Amino acid sequence: MTATTDTADLLRERISRFPSTRYQGSKRKLAHSILAQLDDLEYTTVLDAFGGTGVVSYAFKASGKSVTYNDILAFNHQIGLALIENSATRLDDDTIAGVGNARSDVDYDDMIERTFQGIYFTDAENRWLDVAVGNIRRIRGKYKRALAWFALFQAAMIKRPYNLFHRANLYMRTADVTRSFGNKATWDKGFAEHFQVFARQANEAVVEGAGACRAMCADALDIEPQHDLVYIDTPYINHAGIGVDYRDFYHFLEGMVLPGPWSDAIDLASKHRRLRPIKNPWNDPRACRDQFARLFERFRDSILVVSYRSDGVPPIAELVDMLRRVKARVSVVDGARYQYVLSTKRTSREVILIAEG
């Protein structure tokens, strides 16, 4: 049964509570229309296999589904804990106000100030980050800690040109030049102020789901096939065979929450102090074909919903053939025009592949 106008409006309002994000590839503007394409399907449990920002998981949660959010990146997992698995916990005002204040009883590591001088943030900002990271790690309760990480990630991204960490380009903020892009006032606003804004946005986004929700940090191919519907939004590879490497784009955020010492994982030969590269088959135009085939086979007993791009690699026709090997019916829904932040290609469209039966 197609959702009524009142139901659709309510869902749209619920999704709007999700904080605005600067994350490349975010589906925040498309989440409602994606779920609208699934109105006629019968499902209760959902796996968001490549959860990213969490906004699609959040939309499923808001629509009353029991959601498993998954992402292989540790910093994204914190987003899933904060806004998908968490159903009631919020940050208190004292924690929000004090996250960047040094405590006399804590010996703070100065790793960020030592390692990233002149790369992304000013010396004073790096010192603030070292303190904030130390304080967040000491917050009791995984959901409170995750909410604080979320706010810190958002604060760090909004102060970056392009909202990324792919280049050592602090000079773009500090140079005394006429600017054709960006918002210098936002870049130069203090971390504490940004953090407080995003912490309160995260608090407002905490909602109780109708079903149990959880957040995982795993390879999608290692997850047990037990969900009614599996939503698949893999890293994008464009028509030229160039993939989006989220770990490289957001290595600074990933480093903050790594279980081991961040400094041990850094490629010191790189100008922007990235994490040492890890081969990801989803970013390889040849290897990703086998990954898709294995993923579809693993979850063949679930409804498969693939969020894709009209100019992606492999092409849509090839994905449809793969899906038809495991499912009886495959439909292709042409979605809204969509463009990544750094992309100059304006003809790419969001496409939804739905495989069932």
Per-residue model confidence as pLDDT tens digits over 91-147: 999 999 999 999 999 999 999 999 999 999 999 999 999 999 999 999 999 999 999
pLDDT at 336: 54
Domains of the chain as residue ranges with CATH: 1-87+214-237+286-357 (3.40.50.150), 95-206 (no CATH)
Task: Quote the tokens at residue 31.
Answer: 């989440």
Intervals of the chain under pLDDT 50: 1-2, 337-344
pLDDT at 5: 65
- Give the separation between CA 70 and CA 214, rounded to whole angstroms: 9
Residues in CB range of 230: below 8 A, 6 or more apart: 46, 47, 49, 299, 302, 303, 304, 305
pLDDT at 179: 64
pLDDT at 196: 98
C-alpha dihedral over 49, 23, 142, 124, to 10 degrees?
A: 150
Which residues partner with 275 through β-bridges? 266
Q: What is the pLDDT of residues 208-239, one digit of tens each?
A: 988 899 999 999 999 999 999 999 999 999 98
**Residues recorded for the chain:** 357
Instruction: Look up residue 57 and give its amino acid.
Output: S
pLDDT at 4: 61
Q: Which of 72, 73, 69 is nearest to 83 (CA)?
A: 69
Instruction: Look up residue 212 and give its amino acid.
Output: A
